[in-house]
Chain A
Amino acid sequence: MPPLIETRNLRHVYHAGTADAVMALDGISLTVDRGEFVAIVGGNGSGKSTLAKHLNALLLPTEGEVFVDGMNTRDRGALWEIRQRVGMIFQNPDNQLVATVVEEDVAFGPENLGLPAAEIVARVDEALRVVEMAEYRQHEPHLLSGGQKQRVAIAGILAMRPQCLLLDEATTMLDPQGQREVMETIQRLNRDGVTVIHITHAMEEAVQCPRVIVLADGRVALDGPPAEVFSRVEELERFRLVLPPIPALAHRLRRDGLPIPEGILHVEELAGALTRLVAEGAGRGRAGDGTH
């Protein structure tokens, strides 16, 4: 089976051939397998949204190739299958809901796929249940909270039965409560087998993802598990990325001379390391010369 998503030396130039040509993506090659949960981070203008739009053929490569489930995005015949497989959630929840009633909005995608009415009803039911918005099916979207709107948007995508959920800063405009709701929803979906690509500015969200890709100037700068990526402090600083709170604290302590191991991501790990340090220090203090 081909990987779910594969880009080969993907280049994208906006306004190619004119005076204000912008090289937004500069040779991206990566693969995402089924079931993965990937965070994509990067500074403003690093090319995250441009990359996202390539993954469901909203944009076509200036150079290179993008494959979704083995289908080339340049193949016009595969366009609707590609968009059905990779569903995209955008940043502003208000600007992606089409209908005046929640259930009608969730039905929008399946209706576009030309499914029979009974099938659409079943899918809308299921999708709303999965995002825990079933009791809001008759509500007007503009009366919902940000997190609820974003969950309705996710339901609208789920109703198309995608293999991959692609979120472009879907949590950026939400309050902490809404961010938590969306994170929990996509984590749950991932456990049920949906591939998730989560573009985010929030490093504390990236830390929770098993794989983190850092984009800088349209290139993949780092790609690996968060423990590895967030220990490359100097590089991240060069890309003007702030470390997540716990790795940042661990790094500060290490820089101040404390022997704390690399790759610390969560509070518990840091607390454990510090406790061990204190215990060792106390042991040494009692045995040795008594300097603190």
Chain B
Amino acid sequence: MELTRYVTIGQYIPRESPVHRLDPRSKIAAVTVLTVAVFVVRDFSGYGLLTLFLLGVVLASQIPLGYLLRGLRPVLFLLLMTLVLNVFFSGIQGGTVLFQLGPVVATREAVLRAVFIGYRLVALVLVTSLLTFTTSPVQLTDGIERILRPFRRLGVPAHELAMMMTIALRFIPTLLEETEKIMKAQMARGAEFEHGNILRRARALVPVLVPLFVSAFRRADELALAMEARCYRGGEHRTRMKELRLAPRDAVALALTIAASFVFTIPYPTWQALLR
């Protein structure tokens, strides 16, 4: 049952790579730029270049490709659905028919679009998992806090959000372990979590969730007290052991990403004209 194995949120793979060494802020910015690029690019030349670029980053990050691809497993079903729906129910009228089975028609245009959409999904998952694999949760939350800091004047609780994320990440494994313990205890008393219809399974979860919530609230209470006892009084007066510092390599990496993204969006006909 090992719930902890299925949850890979914030999974971080420590390595001594140039990607790991980048400031989390520049990595978050780069991911944002690439996400926009993934949606703007619309032809094979762009996707080909983007793929090459991503492969380069993966190589530099020293994260095994297999690891990254395994991150795709949870979205596999979504990917398949997207492909099928877009191929057969595209709503595209006319076009070159590739094959036909009764009323079901697959046109060349529909297949192309499905492939693009599927590719976008895969690229997005890869880009974000590259971020979490190469950035420790601490750095990630620090980065988010620093990015949001200028918006504090507009009422964005930058420090509080980051603290909430940290505590959530800290307690996910603890609560998962506890869920597992409660489920095992309930199973010993004859509860069934893996059989029966959905309604039945949902009902079996009630005696798990109730004690879990009760305990989570007790934990929250105690943690708040412990934090107060350790002189916590919000973000003010607080310093950090590791202040984030942007280095020249951050500027280089971000500039490269932005420049590359512009190149990806150059339409194929322009390439043809340029290369002639």
CA distance A7 to B36 in the complex (A): 63
CB of A88 within 8 Å of the partner chain:
yes
| Segment 79-104 of A: residues with Cβ below 8 Å from B | 80, 83-84, 87-88, 90, 92, 94-101, 103-104
CA distance A96 to B169 in the complex (A): 14
CA distance A142 to B4 in the complex (A): 12
CB of A247 within 8 Å of the partner chain:
no
A94 in complex: contacting residue of B136, B174, B225, B228, CB < 8 Å: B174
Considering the complex, give the chain A residue whose CB is closest to the CB of B169.
A100
Query: How many residues on B have C-beta within 8 angstroms of the other chain's C-beta atoms?
Result: 31
Contact with A along B199-243 (1 / 0, CB 8 A): 000000000000000000011001101111111110001111111
In this complex, the member of A96, A124, A141, A156 whose beta carbon has the largest number of chain B beta carbons within 10 angstroms is: A96
- Among the 9-residue stretches A30-38, A108-116, A277-285, the one with 4 or more Cβ atoms under 8 Å from chain B is A108-116
Q: Is the CB of B231 within 8 A of A113?
A: yes
Q: Is the CB of B238 within 8 A of A142?
A: no
Interface size of A as a range: 35 or more
Whole-angstrom distance from the CB of B8 to the nearest CB of chain A? 14
Q: Is the CB of A100 within 8 A of B239?
A: no
Contact with B along A102-130 (1 / 0, CB 8 A): 01100111111111110011001000000
B230 in complex: contacting residue of A103, A112, A142, CB < 8 Å: A112
Which A residues touch B226, using CB under 8 A?
88, 90, 95-96, 98
Q: Is the CB of B229 within 8 A of A98?
A: no
Whole-angstrom distance from the CB of B224 to the nearest CB of chain A? 10
CA distance A140 to B238 in the complex (A): 23
CA distance A111 to B234 in the complex (A): 11
Q: Is the CB of A141 within 8 A of B241?
A: no
CA distance A110 to B238 in the complex (A): 9
Q: Is the CB of B239 within 8 A of A98?
A: no
Contact with A along B134-176 (1 / 0, CB 8 A): 0011100000000000000000000000000011011001100
- Known contacts A101-B138, A112-B237: A160-B228 contact under CB 8 Å: no
In this complex, the member of B170, B225, B231, B238 whose beta carbon has the largest number of chain A beta carbons within 10 angstroms is: B231
Q: Is the CB of B229 within 8 A of A111?
A: no
- Known contacts A83-B230, A99-B166: A116-B239 contact under CB 8 Å: yes
- Known contacts A88-B229, A98-B227: A111-B239 contact under CB 8 Å: yes
CA distance A115 to B231 in the complex (A): 12
Whole-angstrom distance from the CB of A198 to the nearest CB of chain B? 16
Q: Is the CB of B230 within 8 A of A95?
A: no
CA distance A260 to B241 in the complex (A): 58
B241 in complex: contacting residue of A53, A111, A157, CB < 8 Å: A111
CB of A78 within 8 Å of the partner chain:
no
Which B residues touch A88, using CB under 8 A?
226, 229
Q: Is the CB of B241 within 8 A of A109?
A: no
Considering the complex, give the chain A residue whose CB is closest to the CB of B165.
A100
Contact with A along B166-191 (1 / 0, CB 8 A): 11011001100100000000000000
In this complex, the member of A111, A117, A121 whose beta carbon has the largest number of chain B beta carbons within 10 angstroms is: A111
A104 in complex: contacting residue of B167, B173, B241, CB < 8 Å: B241
Which A residues touch B237, using CB under 8 A?
112-114
CA distance A120 to B240 in the complex (A): 8
CA distance A109 to B239 in the complex (A): 10
CA distance A107 to B239 in the complex (A): 10
CB of A148 within 8 Å of the partner chain:
no
What would 28 A/B residue contacts be, using CB atoms closer than 8 Å? A53-B225, A58-B229, A87-B229, A90-B222, A90-B226, A92-B219, A92-B222, A94-B174, A95-B222, A95-B223, A95-B226, A99-B170, A100-B136, A100-B166, A100-B170, A101-B136, A107-B240, A107-B241, A112-B233, A113-B231, A113-B237, A114-B239, A117-B242, A120-B240, A121-B241, A141-B170, A142-B173, A142-B174
Residues of B within 8 A of A (CB): 14, 136-138, 166-167, 169-170, 173-174, 177, 218-219, 222-223, 225-233, 237-243
> Can you add 11 more A-B contacts, CB < 8 Å, to A83-B231, A98-B227?
A53-B225, A58-B229, A80-B233, A83-B228, A90-B222, A90-B229, A96-B223, A111-B238, A117-B240, A117-B243, A142-B174
The 8 nearest A-B residue pairs measured at CB:
A96-B226, A95-B222, A107-B241, A112-B231, A88-B229, A109-B230, A120-B241, A142-B173
